[in-house]
Each structure stands twice: as C-alpha cells, then as structure tokens.
Structure 1
Amino acid sequence: MIPEKIEVFDNSGKKIRLIFTGKSGGEGAIYAIEKEKDSCAKIFFKTGISEELHEKIRTMVKYPPGGGLTKPADEISSSSIAWPSSPLYMADNGKRRFVGYSMPKIDTGMFRESHMYYDPGDRLKMLGGSFSWQYLMTAAYNISFVVSKIHEIGHCVGDFSPRNILIARTAAVSFIDCDSFQVYNPETGRIFYTKVGTGELLPPELMGKNFRQEEITRHNSDLFALGIMIFRLLMNGAHPYQAAGKDVWDLPTIEQKTLRGIYPYVPQKGKDIRPPRYASAYGVVPPCIRDLFLECFVKGHGDPLKRPSADDWCRCLAEEIKKLKRCGTNPNHWYGGHLKECPWCELSRRGGKDLFPCTKTKIKAGENRQIAHSVSGPAQIKSCLIQCDPRHFSFRTDSCTTVKGKIEVEISGCKDGILSVGRDAEWITDIRKTGESGNKKTFEFVIEPSQIPNKKEGIRNRANILLRAASETKKIPVEIGFFLRPLCEPEIRKIILRGIDLRNPAEIQFSLRNAGEGTLTGTAETDREWLKISPESFSAGDRQEFRIKILPEKSRKSLIHGNLIFKTNGGNLKVPLFASETLSCS
C-alpha cells in the first residue's frame, strides 16, 4: 500500500512533506513536494533500496551533467533532465534511512514519449502537420545535446527506451528515469552500471548479455542507440536495420537483422534487400547526416569505436538546421538545404501521404513554463559547440617524470569565437596555445607529478581541463596514475607429488604469475642436487612457465623434499616440493 502523505528530510536536514501523485512503477512512487511547484520526489519501495543505490544517488547529486540541464525549470530553454537534486531520508530509531530523492518536475502534460513524435500516425493525430521536419531536426539535436553533456562528465544513458526520452511540441526534450543511468564517480573511479536495456536499441556486441549479472560499460551502446533515435526521427519512424525483401524473410525481428548488420540503405550486392515502404526517401536526409548514419550502422556495426559521438551529431545537425528551406506552397514543409525542390510536395504529387499537411493546429506559446516557446519556430537550440580531440586523457608515469599532452579544439556556433582555457587542479600546468587556424586551436599542457599529493600505487588522480566559449563550458577529463611494481605469485604454493617412480627421472610444469604491473624479472634455482629448474633467469609480462626435473636416483630415498627458490623484482619466493611413491597430485 502506497501512503498518500509522508514526511522526509533532505541532505541538509530540511523537512519535506510529500503527497502521492498516483503515479508509480516497478521501483517506486512519484510524489509532489508540498509548496514546491517545480520539484517532485521519487520514493523507492523498500525491497529495492540498497547501500549501492544510496551511494549511486549521492554520486549523481554531486556530479550532475552540465549545459544547464538540471537548473530550475524557468531557466531551461530547450532541454531538461530529471536528475536527482538531493537524496531523501526518513527517521528510523534515531537514524536516518535512505528512501529516495528529489528532482526537477517534468510537465508530462506538455511532454510525450518520443515514439509519439517519430511515429507519423501518432504525431499527425496529436499535432497535425505543425510538427514539421524543422521540429524533428531540432528534437534530434536536443537529444544529442543532452547525451553529449551526460557523456562529458563520464555518465551514460544505458537504456535509450523511448518511454524515458520525452519530446515536447516545441521540440524541447527531457530525459526521465535517470536513476537507471550508468553513473561514474570521478573521485573514486567507481562505476554504477545500468541493469536494463531495450533489445532493438542494443548494438550487436551487447545482444544476449545479462546486464543484471554482468558489469558492462554502455558508452558505445549509447552512441549506437542515439543514432537509432535520430534515424527514426528523420526517417518516418523506421529502424535503421528494418528491411524488406526475400533475403531477409528468415530474419523476422529487428534484433536478428541488427545482428546480421543488414542496413538496407547501402548497396546489397545482388541481394533482394530494400528499405521498408513506410520509410522516408533516404535522399531527403542531408549528406552530412547520411555520412554519420554510415559510420554508426555500417562501419560502427563491427567496430564500436567508429560510431559518431554525441558531439559529432550536435555539430552536424546544428549546421543542417541552419540550411533548412521552407516550402512556398505549404508552410509546414521544411526540407534540407541540399535539395532544390520540396520533397514533401513531390511525395503528395505521387500519391503518397503528406507527412506534414497544412493544418490549423498550432504550437501555442506558454503551454509549459519549462520551455522558452516561439510560435514561429521550435525551441532554440544551444548552438555554441566546443569539439575536442581527444575527448579525455589517461596517463601512466613514475613519480618523477613530467607528462605532456596536446589537445585540438574546434568552436562552432559562437558569435565571437573567444575561447578561454583553465583547469581545476594545480598539477595541470603550463597550458598554452601552440597553433590556430580559423576556428580550430591547438593547446599543449604539462602534468607535474611533484604537484600531486597522492602518488600511491594504484590510485588514479583525476582533474579537468576547462574550455569556455560564450555560455558553453566543456570539461576534458585528465587522469594520471603511477606505475605499480610487479608482484610475484606462484600457481600453487606447495607441490606434492605421489605415485611417481623414484627410480626414474620425472618432469613437471610450474608457472609464476605477475599479479602487479610492468615486467617481472628474476632468477630461479633449487636447494637440492636432484631438483633442476629451467629457465634459470627470466623476464615476463603476465606469466612465466618453468620446467621442473626430478632426478631421484641422486637421492635414493622413498620420500624426497626440496625447494624452488625465486628471486624477482616483484618479491622473493620459496615453493616447497615433496615427492613419494603413493598416488595423488595437487
């Protein structure tokens, strides 16, 4: 039974009164916060609460995405996200007990699940033809922008379910159910993995995986799903791997076609494979976007590293939105700048259904105070973009050697193009510009280990290079660790041989493992004349194999005992060996 009213307190100890909204799911219930119109709360059911969940929410509160996504509702112009703002607690026998979190309120009267916008039937029924190609492009940009900010801080969406990505009739977007995201703590390096996934949005390398049992990072999976979402928005709801034709009759599901890598928008070399009838003509999509589709679904099918980043999508979509043309016959017809004539009028002339008919349905200004509306167009996109290569740095060094890094920065959509560069840690030093060409700039920086207080082995020190242009700030993560010594560990710590013929020589295999890092080097010897080992000197990365020879005729005893002695840069080791004439081996 879900209580109608409860009292909780936030991280600062402030008492908060909650009122049940009537909405609940498998994990918890949504509550309104008394006297706070722009916030709400999620209270978990007791069965789902754990210390791991508590720590995850605390991490999310401490490390939210940038880009203004989590600011108060009246400051949001085009994108928002229901990100936790504070963990919530109840008093339990004098102790506080974690129960949920507060978050910005998303007006579900204005926002709808994203499939209602990329599905033409639902979209036309809801908005007529007023949600034009311009709005679809803008929604695709805004989704990419949110994902870029989530990735920038190290988090991942994980599950791109269209139920969790909402779109408003202004093309503004919102992400909900954020506590299911993959969350990264840059201070400790801990990752809270996503436990869910939507089958037709998963890349081939993750299909069939059990996310509840396996810890799998979802960054490359996000890029695949983001491409699918953009494809569906621009291609009349079609999935990029949905196909028709005789050669796919044995692959009835989208998941099966995805695994096979059947992308019907490229030549299929004599096969009867083609796009589904309901898909828009591929030529309607601007070449820049088609190139990214190719990278995502063809080149990136087998190589996840080739998939476009969210920043790549932002840059391309922002440029194409600027080039859009408006039809002189139907004001709802917007189309790409690469086309000479309106493709939607041409579709109607050929007897096809007009996807953006001229109707009286309008997008009303002020329907939702969370969004800056314009009757004449969609929500304004944040077009000032900062692109970086590389997007993060990871170094290993010793405690004395300085490290140098180089970063290339490209700015687009900013009026003045002025870029300021800083850092949030003293050990990133000497940042200076070394080159400039147009809107591209090159910077170099130095990491000085003497400035890092914690140089313990295995500890990763993390900081950021900060790039600022106009109202946009981008963080470039930098992490550095120090070399661990090798660590010598035996395959087994005692060798006992029974059942061997002590009258004849015997030979066994033995191995050492490097449980640390670097190269394990050293020597091997024995303390008995009848016990031989080879090689006597070695250098190994992960593992070193040895041959052990027993020459019992030199001992003439029914039970013999000796030691293998290893002297290495990862520690010294003595492994005893016993041999007798009874059967067993361990």
Structure 2
Amino acid sequence: MSGRTVFLDGRRVTLAELPLKGGGQAAVFPVVGDDGIVVKLYREAPGLKEELRLKRMLTMSPLVTRPTDASQPPELAWPTALARGPEGEFLGYAMRRFGEPQHVQLIGLFTRAQRLKLFGDRADWRFLLGVAWNLAFMTARMHYDDLVIGDFSSSNVVVDANGFVTFLDCDSIAFSDPATGELFPCLMHTTDYSSPERQAGGPATRATDEFALAVLVYQLLTAGNHPFGGVPHDSASESTVKDNIAASISYVVRPERVIMPRGTIDPSVLPPELLALARTAFGPGVHDPATRPSAEAWLRALDKERALVRVCPARPLHAFGSHLTACPWCTRAALTGHDVFNVPVVVPGPGVPQPGPPVPTPGEPWPTGLKVALLILAVMILVVIVANA
C-alpha cells in the first residue's frame, strides 16, 4: 500500500505507508520504487527557519574533498533535496538511505547478541577499535569544517560491515552559513551523551561533541559499557546515567564511589594512553570543557593502538591491547562462563567432564595462563609419583 505523495525538487515521488523509523519530531519514510533514498517528514509544520537551514545545507558539501576508500560510504547523510507538498509547502527533506542490512546503528555493537547477529565473528575488539578510530576521524574532520554534531549518540551513527561510520540526522548539526555568517544552532541532544553544560541548556559546541565522543569510544572499547553506569554508594534513590554525568560520578575515575552494574568490564582493558584520555574526559573534563581530550587526541591514540593489537593464540576471535600479558576475554570467560566475543561458554554441571585447556596454534607462543596450569599439573603428577614410590 502506498502513502502520501511529495515533491523532491519538483520530482513527484510516493512514500511508503509505514516509516522506517520515527521520533518525536519527525519520521523517515522509504520512497516507493527507489531504494537509494529516504524522506524525512516533520510531524509539526516546520517554520521558515527550518526551511532556510535546509536550503543553506543544500549549498554546502562538507567532507566531500577528502580522499576515501572506494568502498567507503559517505560519512554524512547530508540532505539532497527539499520535500514539498502539492501546494509547495515545506515538509522535510530527502537524503541517501543508510539502512539494514548494509548499515546498522552503532548501538548494535554494544551487546554481544547484536554483534553476533549483525556482524557475525567480524566484530572482535580490533574491529571495535577501528570503528572508534573512524568515529574520531569523522568528528575531527567535521570540526575542521566548522560543523558541530550537537546530537551525538549511538543511535545517530550507523556502521557498515567494514567498520565505516555515517552520521544521520544532519538537519540537527550546528553550523554558520558560509555566505552570511548566520548561525544555525543544534537544538537536540541525547541525555546519556550530553555533558553537564548541554544538559543545563547550553549550546552545542566542539567541547560537547568531544564529551559524547569520549563516551562512545569508551563504550566501543569495552563492548558496550557506559562509563557513567552504576549507582553511587551514597545515592538515596536509583541513579540514572544523566544523574551520574551531572554529578561527575564515573567508575572509570572513582570506582570506589559506584556500585557497578553486573558484568561491567574492567577499564584496564583500555591501553594506558586511551585509559588516561578516558579518565581525563570523565574526571576533570566533565565540568571543565577546556580539559576534555580533543577528537584529534583520541584519533592519535587510537591510531597508535591499531598497529599494536594482539590476538589470543588460543582463541583467534579474542583480540586485545598490547599492554596486556594475557588475554582478558579468556580470563573473563573462565571466571564468568560468558565469552564477550565468541560463542557462549557452557559451564558443565556436576558429573560432566570439564573440557581440556585450549591448544595454541603451532608456532605461536603459549599463553601465560596455560603455562602456569600445565606447570601446576606436572608438579602434582610428580608429587603423586614420589608418594607412591
């Protein structure tokens, strides 16, 4: 069944009856017979300011001058045409379509079930590190072009199978008209990624983007853990992420102050330079925007780590930082029975024989934990032999 008819730069198109997604202010519809574009329609009649914003955006081409890989999608779902009704009334805009299965929301990388469903065995820690690098690069490049993301969250970014990222909802980006200097601010924000000054009604700035970027990078490198999760020990009621941000309470900086959610990954999985950036962002950087690490600082640190990633010889899907001497994911799986990146670990019940230790691939070093286990086993056998002699 077809929906309403709209005009894109005078070209008549028909929208699907049901939207792909919808929010409080707008809904995004597929175009019948054209899978390459979607149309975002505002629920309330947009004013002249919104129409002028989109018109100005159509004269701009941000990020198009930088060289990219041939397989890389655009980093911005930039408006391509205004959408108007039969009487010429402004309704919204068209943009290129970035949807499943080719592109999935960044939030899909934050849970093990979604990672396996959407990316299979590709989304190991090395992949997440690469996505974080792409996210930092996009942020730095947008700031270089004098664009402020503003509403920066895990729901406004999509990822493809190669880890490339694309920012959606570009109509909320803050920018100044290159021709007139007129400022078009960002009026939207997502609380779990909003710095205290943004929560208090302050404008979107590079510093507010840098706060959101720090949260997203940390979530990626810990397979989904929010750095402001948990409940403070002195909290009189259930504390939210927004509350913890406002109070500058992060277990990454002050773990003794927070009852952490069950299953929280230890911050030490982050390489030292990245952990130092995180602790600056979630410590002094919460209330002092000037001290927050820049997108460029994250980019440099992430770039350095990409060349140093180690792979577990026992489980090839376990990648981790070069600062660690043993695989953190194997250790975690042994302690909890839950493998963050591989298939579920089955904990045998009473009377069921335990599986033997994993055997390293020939030619690769034996993991430290396995060396210790075998040494203990050898000593126990020797003791038994001596006792029975």
Whether TM exceeds 0.5 here: the answer is yes
Change (3 A) 1:261 1:76: same
Taking a change above 3 Å as real, the CA distance of residues 39 and 273 of structure 1, as seen in their structure-2 partners, is closer
Aligned to 1:503: none
Asked which structure has the greater CA Rg, the reply is 1
Q: CA deviation at 1:4?
A: 2.0
Change (3 A) 1:143 1:340: same
Partner residue in 1 for 2:77: 82
The CA distance in 2 between the partners of 1:18 and 1:305, in whole Å, is 48
Equivalent runs, 1:209-228 vs 2, <5 Å: 209=201, 216-228=203-215
Match for residue 40 of structure 1? 38
Q: Which runs of 5+ in 2 are unaligned?
A: 345-389
Aligned to 1:138: 130
* Among candidates 156, 170, 173, match of residue 164 of structure 1: 156
After the TM superposition, which residues 371-382 of structure 1 pair with which residues of structure 2 at under 5 Å, given as runs? none
Q: Map residues 98-497 of structure 1 onto 2, 5 A cutoff.
A: 98-124=90-116, 126-127=118-119, 129-209=121-201, 216-243=203-230, 246-248=233-235, 252-266=239-253, 272-273=257-258, 275-357=260-342
Structure 1: how far apart are the matches of 2:80 and 2:197?
34
% of aligned pairs identical?
25
Q: Write out per-residue CA displacement over residues 451-477 of structure 1, whole angstroms, 9 at most, x where no aligned residue.
A: xxxxxxxxxxxxxxxxxxxxxxxxxxx
Q: Contact between 1:70 and 1:82, CA under 8 Å: does it hold in 2?
A: no
Q: C-alpha offsets along residues 480-537 of structure 1, whole Å, 9 cap, x if unaligned?
A: xxxxxxxxxxxxxxxxxxxxxxxxxxxxxxxxxxxxxxxxxxxxxxxxxxxxxxxxxx
* Letter paired with 2:76: I
Given that 2:146 and 2:175 are in contact with CA atoms closer than 8 Å, whether structure 1 keeps it comes out as yes
* TM-score of the superposed pair, with normalisation by structure 1: 0.53
Could you tell me how far apart the structure 2 residues matched to 1:120 and 1:108 are? 18
CA-CA distance at 1:56 after TM superposition: 0.7
Q: Write the letter of the residue equivalent to 2:38.
A: C
Partners of 2:236 and 2:327 in 1: CA distance: 35
Deviation string 1:29-58 (CA, Å, 9 cap, x unpaired) is 44445665433333444x332110111112
Contact kept? 1:139, 1:173, Cα under 8 Å: yes
CA contact under 8 A between 1:124 and 1:355: conserved in structure 2? Answer: no
Contact 1:16–1:34 at 8 Å: present in 2 too? no
Alignment correspondent of 1:17: 13
CA distance in 2, matches of 1:343, 1:195: 41
Q: Which amino acid aligns with 2:219?
A: R
Deviations 1:398-418 (A, max 9, x none): xxxxxxxxxxxxxxxxxxxxx
Query: What amino acid is aligned across from residue 85 of structure 1 in structure 2?
Result: T
1:16 deviates by: 4.1
- In the TM superposition, what is the alpha-carbon distance from 1:75 to its structure 2 partner? 4.5
User: CA 1:242–1:91 in 2, change beyond 3 Å: closer, same or farther?
Assistant: closer
Q: Between Structure 1 and Structure 2, which shows a larger proportion of strand residues?
A: 1
**Residues 256 and 326 of structure 1: CA distance in aligned 2, closer, same or farther (over 3 Å):** same
- Which letter maps to 1:41? V
Q: Contact 1:331/1:358 (CA < 8 Å) preserved in 2?
A: no
Contact 2:82/2:94, CA 8 A, preserved across alignment: yes
Determine helix, strand or coil for the equivalent of 2:307. Answer: helix
> Residues of 2 paired with 1:27 and 1:244: CA distance?
32
Does the residue aligned with 1:85 lie in a helix, a strand or coil? strand
Shift of 1:63: 2.4
Root-mean-square deviation (CA), in Å? 3.0
Select between 303-312 and 114-123 the one with higher mean Cα deviation.
Answer: 114-123
More helix by share: 2
**Aligned partners of 2:122 and 2:8: how far apart in 1?**
44
- Could you tell me which residue of structure 1 aligns to residue 49 of structure 2? 52
Partner Cα distance (2:269, 2:188) in 1: 34
Secondary structure in 2 matching 1:81:
coil
CA distance in 2, matches of 1:177, 1:207: 20
- CA distance in 2 between counterparts of 1:318 and 1:97 reads 47
Inter-partner Cα distance in structure 2 for 1:219 and 1:288: 22
Give the whole-Å Cα distance in 1 for the aligned partners of 2:319 and 2:115: 16
Conserved 8 A contact 2:150-2:173: yes
User: For the residues of structure 1 that align with 2:157 and 2:66, how far apart are their CA atoms?
Assistant: 14
Change (3 A) 1:132 1:59: same
In the alignment, residue 60 of structure 1 is paired with which amino acid?
A: M
Is contact 1:30-1:41 (8 Å) kept? Answer: yes
Q: What is the identity, as a one-letter code, of the residue corresponding to 2:182?
A: R
The whole-number CA distance in structure 1 between the counterparts of 2:238 and 2:171 is 35
Distance 2:124 2:149 in 1: 27
SS of equivalent to 1:40: strand
AA of the residue aligned to 1:40: V
User: How far apart are 1:99 and its partner, in Å?
Assistant: 3.0
CA contact (8 A) 1:129 1:355 kept: no
- Find the residue that maps to 2:62 and give its secondary structure: coil
**SS at structure 1 position matched to 2:18:** strand
Equivalent-residue separation in structure 1 for 2:59 and 2:240 (angstroms): 41
Equivalent residue letter for 1:18 = T
Name the SS of the counterpart of 2:37 in structure 1: strand
Structure 1 residues 262 and 38, CA, compared in 2 at 3 Å: closer, same or farther?
Answer: same
Structure 2 CA distance, aligned partners of 1:41 and 1:331? 43
C-alpha displacement of 1:102: 2.2
Q: Which amino acid aligns with 2:53?
A: K
The CA distance in 2 between the partners of 1:38 and 1:265, in whole Å, is: 42
Residue identity matched to 2:287: G
Give 3-state SS (helix, strand or coil) of 2:79's partner. coil
Q: In 2 relative to 1, CA 207–132 (structure 1 residues): closer, same or farther, beyond 3 Å?
A: same
**Cross-structure match for 1:8:** 7
Query: SS at 1:305's partner residue?
Result: helix
1-structure distance, mates of 2:129, 2:159: 12
**1:320 shift after superposition:** 0.9
Where relative contact order (Cα < 8 A, 6+ residues apart) is larger, the structure is 2
Distance 1:107 1:245, change over 3 A: closer
Equivalents in 1 of 2:328, 2:311: separation in Å? 11
Are residue 66 (structure 1) and residue 53 (structure 2) matched? no
Inter-partner Cα distance in structure 1 for 2:200 and 2:67: 34
Paired AA for residue 62 in structure 1: T
Check whether the contact 2:273–2:301 (CA below 8 A) recurs between aligned residues: yes
